[in-house]
Amino acid sequence: MAKLQTTRPAGARIAIAGVEKSYTTRAGGRIEALTTIDLTIAAGEFVAFVGPSGCGKTTLLNAIAGLAEPSAGSIHIGERQVQGKPLSEIGYLFQKETLLPWYTVEHNVSLGLSYRGLKHDAQARQRVDHLLQIAGLADVRGAYPSELSGGMRRRAALCAMLAIEPSVLLMDEPFGALDTFTRAGLQQYLLDLWSESRQTVVFVTHDLEEAVTLADRIVIFSKRPGRILDIVEVPLPRPRNVFQVKQMPEFSACYQQTWAALSEEFSLGEP
Amino acid sequence: MASPRQPSGLTVAAIQIAIILAILALWQFGPIDEMLWSRPSLVFPRVAALWQGVEGLPPLSRQIGDTVLATFVGLAGGSALGFVLGVALAEFTTIRLTLAPFLAAANAVPRVAWVPTLTLLFGFGFITKIVMSGLIVFLVVFFNVLDAAVHAPPALLDGVRALGGSYWHRMRDVRIWSSIGAVIASLPNAIAFALVGVVFAESLNAESGLGALMFNAMQRGHPDDLIISALALGIIGLVLIAITRGLQRAFAHRLMLGDATPGGARP
């Protein structure tokens, strides 16, 4: 299928400097979720955040997205500082369902465009049609989310995110609730779409295999309060096939390295 | 283990008809007090007479029409007001928390206790019935909508925000639609209570309506009219519930009502 013309530059650099996040409890105490995170993600890079539940990776993702304000430090997307609300460069795919059940698939995918006043823009409409086509949702554009399978709803949510042409994609365990085969299909679909426009991607997962399959680098977080334990480079070639890449010896080596960093934190044995 | 087979619609309908016939047979030929319960052979001719209008009573068609109209007008007005105020109050936390105990107190007052006050305010007649119906529906819808708007799904609100939606977009695309679902879900209860309220108001102070017919029948010792009124109210209630169920089914897949579940029938 022909590549769609885009008006937005590919990816944006993300600079996280001295970010901390803590919460005040009802009893007046403080819970530290994140402690002094310094990280730079290059433009167009695909980075995975892995770590145990509660380590703060989603908190950091929300801080990058502008949905949560850090207690200290700063986050820049390109030249712009993130300050309490989502920047227009951001696309976010949540773990939970965010498709509006009372709108059709097409309406949901066009929602971000309508918020930007582009509902009737010809190029924007073409982009929606293209996304629905390659997502295999063109035949169900008039259906409601309750009439779709879980995999189809995730693809629709992905289209809604991509329709606004973000230069940064933030994804919080987007495929976690799906079965193995559907998840693999969506991973491949994501890689194929991403290879077209090379946005900067931050992908949160607790699945180490998924992290190695998708990412250029894996950022490993400790238990709460979350800090960066290690960063593992993934030396697998691009473009990737999610099935074939698992047969490569580099895949296994990278998985072992990631596991080793985490197992030290939790005193676990070898995988 | 295989789940039990569902009976066919025809089977269920046949059983229902058999029950009706059995009741009619018992009522006609059974050992019941005719002075209290009348008989079908007396009731059915009385329907025809009431339909024309006898003994100074308005025609039955008008009586039914007045009750149904008051119920519907009150339903429409009460639902609209309950929806608007519920959504509005959800946005103003301080006002909502301040008014909470007063609203709870107002909600705790038995609806029928309002009738004398409404009669003093609006006099005898149609307005009182509509206000009674509207008040009952308003309280049912208002509290349901308020709860739905306050507890609008946070994931959906975050999703709209992440797509660049403003406060008003979140209001329009999440809170209001969540509240529409609450209105539709509350309709069967609202209608049932509204009908009760209208009939009670009619029984106290109206010249026309099924409630007035019932009260008149009680005063004149006319069991036929009482039974006819009760049957008519039962049929009206069934029709209204069927309409609201139809509305719920029509919106179920959009508003996640009743049996609508994510994923539908696709593998």
Question: Do the domain assignments include residue B126?
Answer: yes
Distance separating alpha carbons of residues A188 and A179, to the nearest angstrom: 14
Which residue of B lies nearest to A164 if distances are taken between CA atoms?
A: B163
Q: In Å, how far is A86's CA from the nearest CA of chain B?
A: 6
**What phi-psi label fits residue A214: left (phi over 0), alpha (psi between -120 and 50 degrees) or beta?**
alpha
CB distance A146–B160 less than 8 Å? Answer: no
**Residues in A touching B264 (Cβ below 8 Å):** 146-149
What is the predicted pLDDT for the residue at B105?
87
What is the predicted pLDDT for the residue at B23?
92
Cβ within 8 Å of residue A148, ≥6 positions away = A105, A140, A156, B263, B264, B266
A-B Cβ pairs (cutoff 8 Å, strict)? 85
Question: Do the domain assignments include residue B47?
Answer: no
What is the predicted pLDDT for the residue at A60?
94
Q: In Å, how far is B149's CA from the nearest CA of chain A?
A: 15
Q: In Å, how far is B110's CA from the nearest CA of chain A?
A: 36
Which tokens sit at B247? 């509305």
Question: Do the domain assignments include residue B57?
Answer: no
What is the predicted pLDDT for the residue at A5?
47
CB distance A65–B264 less than 8 Å? Answer: no
Side chain identity at residue B187, one-letter code: L
Question: Do the domain assignments include residue B164?
Answer: yes
Q: In Å, how far is A249's CA from the nearest CA of chain B?
A: 35
Mutation for B interface: A147, A153, A167, A173, most B CBs within 10 A: A147
Q: Does A116 touch chain B (CB under 8 A)?
A: yes
Which residue of A lies nearest to B161 if distances are taken between CA atoms?
A: A86
**Residues in A touching B174 (Cβ below 8 Å):** 100
- Exposure string (b/e) for B232-243, b if CB count within 10 Å is 16 or more? bbeebbeebeee
Looking at CATH, the fold of the domain delimited by A1-89+168-271 is given as Rossmann fold (3.40.50)
Q: What is the pLDDT of residues B202-254, one digit of tens each?
A: 888 767 889 888 888 888 888 888 899 999 999 998 888 888 888 888 887 77
Q: What would the DSSP string read from start to end of chain A?
A: -PPPP-SS-S---EEEEEEEEEEE-TTS-EEEEEEEEEEEE-TT-EEEEE--TTSSHHHHHHHHHTSS--SEEEEEETTEEP-SS--TTEEEE-SS--S-TTS-HHHHHHHHHHHTT-TT-HHHHHHHHHHHHHTT-GGGTTS-GGGS-HHHHHHHHHHHHHHT--SEEEEESTTTTS-HHHHHHHHHHHHHHHHHH--EEEEE-S-HHHHHHH-SEEEEE-SSSB-EEEEEE----SS--TTGGGGSHHHHHHHHHHHHHHHHHHT----
Which tokens sit at A67? 């949905």
Distance separating alpha carbons of residues A153 and A145, to the nearest angstrom: 6
Side chain identity at residue A123, one-letter code: Q
CB distance A86–B260 less than 8 Å? Answer: no
The partner residue sitting opposite A65, judged by closest CB among B162, B166, B181, is B162
Q: Does B159 touch chain A (CB under 8 A)?
A: yes
Given a cut of 70, is residue B165 above it in pLDDT? yes
Q: What would the DSSP string read from start to end of chain B?
A: -PPPPPPPHHHHHHHHHHHHHHHHHHHHHSS--HHHH--HHHHHHHHHHHHH--TTPPPHHHHHHHHHHHHHHHHHHHHHHHHHHHHHHHH-HHHHHHHHHHHHHHHHS-GGGGHHHHHHHH-SSHHHHHHHHHHHHHHHHHHHHHHHHHT--HHHHHHHHHTT--HHHHIIIIIHHHHHHHHHHHHHHHHHHHHHHHHHHHHHH-SSSHHHHHHHHHHHT-HHHHHHHHHHHHHHHHHHHHHHHHHHHHHHHHHT-TT--TTTT--
CB distance B162–A98 less than 8 Å? Answer: yes
Given a cut of 90, is residue B266 above it in pLDDT? no
**Residues in A touching B256 (Cβ below 8 Å):** 101, 146
The partner residue sitting opposite B253, judged by closest CB among A94, A97, A147, is A147
Question: Do the domain assignments include residue B78?
Answer: yes
CA A182, A183, A184 angle in degrees (round to 5)? Answer: 90
Query: Where in the sequence is the domain holding B89, given as residue range(s)?
Result: 73-202+229-255
Determine what percent of chain B is predicted with pLDDT higher than 90.
Answer: 19
Distance separating alpha carbons of residues B201 and B193, to the nearest angstrom: 12
Candidate from A211-220, B95-104, B164-173, B227-236 with smallest mean pLDDT: B95-104
Work out the average pLDDT over B45-53: 87
**Residues in B touching A111 (Cβ below 8 Å):** 160, 163, 165, 173
**Residues in B touching A148 (Cβ below 8 Å):** 263-264, 266
CB distance A149–B263 less than 8 Å? Answer: yes
Q: What is the pLDDT of residues B130-149, one digit of tens each?
A: 888 898 889 889 989 998 88
Distance separating alpha carbons of residues B267 and B247, to the nearest angstrom: 27
Give me the count of residues in chain A. 271
> Quick check: bond before A101 cis, omega within 30?
no
Q: Does A88 touch chain B (CB under 8 A)?
A: yes
Number of domains in chain B: 1
Q: Does B158 touch chain A (CB under 8 A)?
A: yes
Which residue of A lies nearest to B157 if distances are taken between CA atoms?
A: A98
Candidate from A46-60, A140-154, B89-103, B165-179 with smallest mean pLDDT: B89-103
Q: CATH number, domain at B154? A: 1.10.3720.10
With contact defined as beta carbons under 8 Å apart, do A36 and A227 qualify?
A: yes
What is the predicted pLDDT for the residue at B2?
62
Q: What is the pLDDT of residues A147-186, one digit of tens each?
A: 999 899 999 999 999 999 999 999 999 998 888 888 999 9
What is the pTM assigned to this prediction? 0.79
CA B7, B13, B16 angle in degrees (round to 5)? Answer: 110
**Residues in A touching B165 (Cβ below 8 Å):** 111, 115
Which tokens sit at B145? 């909508």
What is the predicted pLDDT for the residue at A10?
67
Beta A217-221 vs A200-204: how paired, if at all? unpaired
Question: Do the domain assignments include residue B173?
Answer: yes
Complex-level ipTM: 0.85
Distance separating alpha carbons of residues A213 and A197, to the nearest angstrom: 19
The partner residue sitting opposite B158, judged by closest CB among A98, A145, A152, is A98
Task: List chain A domain ranges.
Answer: 1-89+168-271, 97-165
Question: Do the domain assignments include residue B55?
Answer: no
Q: In Å, how far is B156's CA from the nearest CA of chain A?
A: 5
Within chain A, which residues score under 50 in pLDDT? 1-6
Distance separating alpha carbons of residues B211 and B195, to the nearest angstrom: 10
